[in-house]
Amino acid sequence: MNKVYGLIGCPVGHSMSPLIHNDQLQHKKISAAYHAFHVEKEHLKAAVEGARALGIAGFNVTIPHKISIIPFLDELDQSAELLGAVNTVLNKEGRLIGYNTDGQGYLASLKQLMEKPLHEQRYLIIGAGGAARAIFYTLASEGASAIDLANRTPEKARMLMEECPHKVDGNVFSLSEAESLLSDYDVIIQTTAIGMHPNETEKPFAASNIRRGTIVSDIVYNPVKTAFLTEAEKAGARILNGVGMFVYQAALSFEIWTGEKPDTARMSKLVFAQLG
């Protein structure tokens, strides 16, 4: 029987997940299909029960359901426990198990550029939402401890810092404070939607103070190179766009469902082609 995988969220119309997962399923000769399902908040419970009843083999979860889906699942993997959110569900013989591949997906993309060990670097994370949380807690769980946070609302970043289950030696800054400290960091990670299409000219702050050789990463992938990354590159930074995080979180989901490692280079090529 052909398996069905999918994505639940709202909106899902512009998601590139169906494109890359269906291509990989074909490429790996796995007879299954991946479909994006638009699920409104009030239908989440019914959708999860429906997925179970229909024997959907696994699905991704996106905005706005990543946290609210938790009570409807049977079990959480430690990745989902750590982040308090789920982006991947595996249907294991009728038991729905929640995972979160966002943090490890990000880390896999970051490691492509990293030359020194994770725990020897000094990090600045911009933002304090769900994406910042996934990246922050995953870095901390892997042994990084010099991690500072900068956010428009510093109080939100302070809460994130206090709730971190791993020991970190970090400070919280406003965006303007962080701008003047940029030369202190080895890795700067922009996790907000600032600069995302259609607001392509927006930046969290100027990137001109960045040291040459610093890794500057932006999780936005549309546009592929944000205004922040463009400016950082001019200052001599090594830049990392958001396509890597998107591809690797998908790759880890694919592996959880099928047990097979997908071709990430092929996935990236498709995403870049789609983004133009």
- Which residues are documented as binding site for shikimate? 15-17, 62, 87, 102, 221, 249
Q: Do residues 111 and 121 make contact, with C-beta atoms less than 8 angstroms apart?
A: no
Beta carbon nearer to ligand ATR, 129 or 213: 129
Site for ligand ATR in 232-271 (CB under 6 A): none
Asked about 66 being catalytic, the answer comes back as: yes
Given 11, 55, 129, 213, the residue binding ligand ATR (CB under 6 A): 129
- Which is the catalytic residue, given 41, 45, 66, 269? 66
Query: Least distance in Å: CB of 22 to ligand ATR?
Result: 25
Both tokens assigned to 45: 């419970």
Kindly state the smallest distance separating residue 115's Cβ from ligand ATR, in Å: 28
Q: Which is nearer to ligand ATR, 191 or 268 (CB)?
A: 191
Report strand pairing: 147-150 vs 123-126: parallel
User: Does residue 130 belong to the site contacting ligand ATR (CB under 6 A)?
Assistant: yes
CA distances, 164 to each of 2, 76, 100, 139, 187 (Å): 41, 18, 16, 11, 19
| Burial call 48-72: b when 16+ CB within 10 Å, e when fewer | beebbeeebbbbbbbeebbeebbeb
Q: Kindly state the tokens that stand for 155.
A: 């109080």
Residue 143 sits in the site that holds ligand ATR (CB under 6 A): no
Q: Applying CB under 6 A, which residues contact ligand ATR?
A: 127-132, 151-153, 156, 191-194
